Structure 1
Amino acid sequence: MRKWVWMKSPIHLLHIGKDEYYWMKNKLLNSKAIFALVILIVIAGLFFIPTGFERGDNAFGTQAKAEVLEVDNSNVRSAGLIKHGTQVCKVKIVSGQFKNVNTSAYNELMGKLEMDKIFVPGDMALVGIDINDNKIQFVTLIDHYRINLEIFLFGAFVLLLILFAGWTGVRAILSFAFTVLMIWKILIPFFLKGYNPVILSLLVVAALTTVTILLVSGFSPKSYVAILGSLSGSLLTCMLAVIFGKSFKVHGAVLHFSESLLYSGYQNINLTDIFIAGIFIASAGALMDLAMDISAAVYEVVEKKPSITAKEAIKSGLTIGRAVLGTMTTTLLLAYSGGYIALLMVFMSLDTPVANIL
């Protein structure tokens, strides 16, 4: 029995024997394992790499989990929908060096619904503790404590991914961790240091795309085609974002919290270039997904029907691409609409003209 397999490129087929096929398959599995190990080492290295923005150990403060025992709202004033003033709470610290200590904590309300938190007895809160001479000086209520629930949900996500996808799921988790660390340890710090956001984002997207696809799919023509397609799409998106971003004269200050960034001492940062970079960073995931879908589908077609010609395989890929692209367009629309649903409601309630929205 003989089998057709892909070699060197998606349109070059090599007729090999059964033994050679299984030898190549085992070699591919070994290469996946070795690459996963290499990425695991890289992840460990990224984890310990300093960003350059660490402030070191703060001997004058720490954070802890606390239970709200009592609340005093006598200093809280209501003005329509918003509240301002200070909510004084009696809390019991349940973690850290001051565990089981009861103390007063203060919740400053700034009159902003999206930032203010109101606590009631029984709530678990994240508190900031100012320390002086190894004693509690002042306690601030930061937010509701959600870390345990977040860890539970993430653990459930990891478990289900591994149960469903096996070792592929494990490699997907590695790619997830690699992506998080690349963004937090490389992309964001270099943005803050003033490096060109567009070029830096292209390099990071290229690295993330390559590593993610190779981790999940291994070293095969299927992966190479997906990488090539995804990076080509990212490059084209980048070019369009640069060209039309300049033409539309959109300032990067439209980004949320951009003013806070400027007031924090980073006035020299080019917010417009960061805005443009954010456009194709956001699209990179969808492009990678689309490229992998088409490449994997065509690969399976060739695997199941070795007699197919290169022209027919390309035609099948285009057909699959048109079908996937049709649903992907709606997917992106729903994703962005969901993120801006409140803004769309404001436009609707005020009967904002379409020209103003656009």
Structure 2
Amino acid sequence: MNVLLVLGAILFILMVAIGGKKGARSFIGLFLNFIVLFLTTLFMTDPNADPIILTIIASAFISCINLFYINGVNDKTKTAFLSTILTLSILLLLITLVTKYTMTQGFGEEETGEFGAFSLYIGVDFVKIGASMIIMSTIGAIIDVAISISSPMREMLIHNPLMERRALFKSGITIGRDILGTNTNTLFFAFFGSYLGLLIWFKDLSYSFGEVINSKVFSAELITILCAGIGVALVIPIASWITAYFFVKARDKNNMI
């Protein structure tokens, strides 16, 4: 516990020293996000609750925390929030279908030993739980890309007030292309780092390459990475179009007044 407190204190000091008040809000936002995820997990254990609806509600709260609480309520965060929710809605349909037909929900063969003494008939829909897990793993990257696009697009419009909507949209796409590769690589390295022990275990068990690829644990995580990458790719044109549309519309309205 002392190590956790020390590391948390170091993180807080660095975030405040570098980010100031926004850094302090970001640190508090970590705990708020944890509370949202914890409560969502508790509600998902209720057989009468719909995990998909709970995921949408939790995603909306997480988006509000990371956008409005940390960065304030302004035109940039509003367009980023709208882009995030729209992207998650599209992605949720895709993820539900993928989880259903790939049958990667539930526990893999490598994990069953730990649950051998427990009953898995707990009355919840594991397909929806699996889809919810993927969404929760994706939302952070989608929010990050959305605000990373809307913020510089706003700055470009401020420095070039006569920019047309099409040109502003193309600028957003260009910005998105620059951050697409780094974000997808971040998702990949996060997966590899968290499952490094599992990969070593596969080697010790003399798994062939085909057995590793077809393992439910490996396939489920790989599907998570691919779905997250799809979400990151989708949010780029969505955020660019929404930001360009609303920013230019607001500029024209103000000029008319």
Query: TM class, shorter-chain normalised?
Result: 0.7 to 0.9
Out of 94, 97, 103, the position equivalent to 1:249 is 103
Kindly indicate whether residue 114 of structure 2 is the aligned counterpart of residue 272 of structure 1.
Answer: no
Kindly indicate whether residue 159 of structure 2 is the aligned counterpart of residue 304 of structure 1.
Answer: yes
Task: Give the residue type in structure 1 aligned to 2:46.
Answer: K
Task: Give the residue type in structure 2 aligned to 1:306.
Answer: P
Q: Which has the larger radius of gyration?
A: 1
* Contact 2:202–2:212 (8 Å) recurs in 1: no
Give the Cα–Cα distance (whole angstroms) in 2 for the partners of residues 256 and 323 of structure 1.
39
* Contact 2:153–2:171 (8 Å) recurs in 1: yes
Residues 92-131 of structure 1 mapped to structure 2, 5 A cutoff: none
Aligned-pair distance for 1:155? Answer: 0.9
Task: Give the residue type in structure 2 aligned to 1:171.
Answer: R
- Distance 1:224-1:239 versus aligned 2 partners, 3 A rule: same
Where structure 2 has 5 or more consecutive residues not aligned to the other structure, the ranges are 215-257
Where structure 1 has 5 or more consecutive residues not aligned to the other structure, the ranges are 1-146
- Distance 1:224-1:347 versus aligned 2 partners, 3 A rule: same
Kindly indicate whether residue 40 of structure 2 is the aligned counterpart of residue 182 of structure 1.
Answer: no
- Distance 1:268-1:351 versus aligned 2 partners, 3 A rule: closer
- Distance 1:187-1:208 versus aligned 2 partners, 3 A rule: same
Give the Cα–Cα distance (whole angstroms) in 1 for the partners of residues 45 and 207 of structure 2.
39
Aligned-pair distance for 1:256? Answer: 5.8
Kindly indicate whether residue 44 of structure 2 is the aligned counterpart of residue 191 of structure 1.
Answer: yes
Identity across the alignment (%): 24
* TM norm structure 2: 0.74
* Contact 1:302–1:313 (8 Å) recurs in 2: yes
Task: Give the residue type in structure 2 aligned to 1:161.
Answer: M
Kindly indicate whether residue 138 of structure 2 is the aligned counterpart of residue 293 of structure 1.
Answer: no
Once the two structures are overlaid, the 10-residue window that deviates more, 296-305 or 150-159, is 296-305
Give the Cα–Cα distance (whole angstroms) in 1 for the partners of residues 160 and 113 of structure 2.
54
- Distance 1:341-1:259 versus aligned 2 partners, 3 A rule: closer
Kindly indicate whether residue 22 of structure 2 is the aligned counterpart of residue 159 of structure 1.
Answer: no
Give the Cα–Cα distance (whole angstroms) in 2 for the partners of residues 256 and 312 of structure 1.
51
* Contact 1:253–1:272 (8 Å) recurs in 2: no
Task: Give the residue type in structure 1 aligned to 2:168.
Answer: A
Task: Name the SS for the 1:202 alignment partner.
Answer: helix
- Distance 1:161-1:266 versus aligned 2 partners, 3 A rule: farther
* Contact 1:252–1:273 (8 Å) recurs in 2: no
| Structure 1 or 2: more strand by fraction | 1
- Distance 1:271-1:262 versus aligned 2 partners, 3 A rule: farther
Higher relative contact order (CA 8 A, sep 6+): 2
Out of 83, 87, 97, the position equivalent to 1:233 is 87
Aligned-pair distance for 1:261? Answer: 10
Give the Cα–Cα distance (whole angstroms) in 2 for the partners of residues 355 and 320 of structure 1.
39
**In the alignment, which residue of structure 2 is the partner of 1:80?**
none
Q: CA RMSD in A?
A: 2.5
State how many pairs are aligned: 211
Aligned-pair distance for 1:342? Answer: 2.5
| Structure 1 or 2: more helix by fraction | 2
Task: Name the SS for the 2:104 alignment partner.
Answer: coil
